[in-house]
Amino acid sequence: MYKTALFPGSFDPFTIGHESIVNRALPLFDKIIIAIGYNTTKDGYFPLDKRLEWIKTVFGEEKKVEVTSFKGLTVDFCREKGAGYILRGLRTSADFEYERAVAQMNRVMLPDIESVFMLTLPDHTHITSTIVREIIRLGGDADAFLPENLRNKIKVI
């Protein structure tokens, strides 16, 4: 059976933590759709088109990766894309508690969906988009937390 996973997130911005989750999940799936979820009430910091462009830059050569965005419920977008799996990364017990509730509610809404969790690498546990964004916003150097081909690309807006 062809296995498609959706990796939803804000990716504001995409970090080496996200990149690592996708790379480690690639052998498990036939396709991974990295999908930026957005809604009109909560704008991200970086513009959606930039975030999409940056993620495409990271996985440009990888045919198994699609990069897109969606509005609304993750389960509805899974249905639309024919994705049977939702991929999420886990850093801390706080992540786990939150993700458990979301996954169990998603399963009520879409019983066929399986949420798959991947533990972050120990070196990436402390990396959050919120802090990376703050470093960039305040003029610091966040390159150590960004995928190699995004270093020097992501600037204050």
- Residues in CB range of 7: below 8 A, 6 or more apart: 18, 21, 22, 25, 32, 33, 34, 35, 86, 87, 88
Measured in degrees and rounded to the nearest 5, phi and psi for residue 59 equal -110, 25
Question: Which residue in 6, 21, 52, 67 binds ligand ADP (CB under 6 A)?
Answer: 21
Q: In whole angstroms, how close is the CB of 114 to ligand ADP at the nearest point? A: 15
Q: Does 120 bind ligand ADP (CB under 6 A)?
A: yes
Q: In whole angstroms, how close is the CB of 99 to ligand ADP at the nearest point? A: 7
User: Which parts of the chain fold into alpha helices (H)?
Assistant: 16-25, 48-58, 74-81, 93-109, 129-137
Residue 87 and residue 46 in contact, taking contact as beta carbons nearer than 8 Å: no
Q: In whole angstroms, how close is the CB of 129 to ligand ADP at the nearest point? A: 5
The pair of three-digit structure tokens given for residue 150, joined into one six-digit string: 């995004």
Q: Does 91 bind ligand ADP (CB under 6 A)?
A: yes
Q: Name the 3-class secondary structure at 3.
A: coil
Nearer to ligand ADP, 106 or 129 (CB): 129
Q: Does 75 bind ligand ADP (CB under 6 A)?
A: no
91 is catalytic: yes
**Can you give the binding site for ligand ADP, defined by CB under 6 A?**
9-11, 15, 17-18, 21, 88-89, 91, 95, 120, 124, 127-129
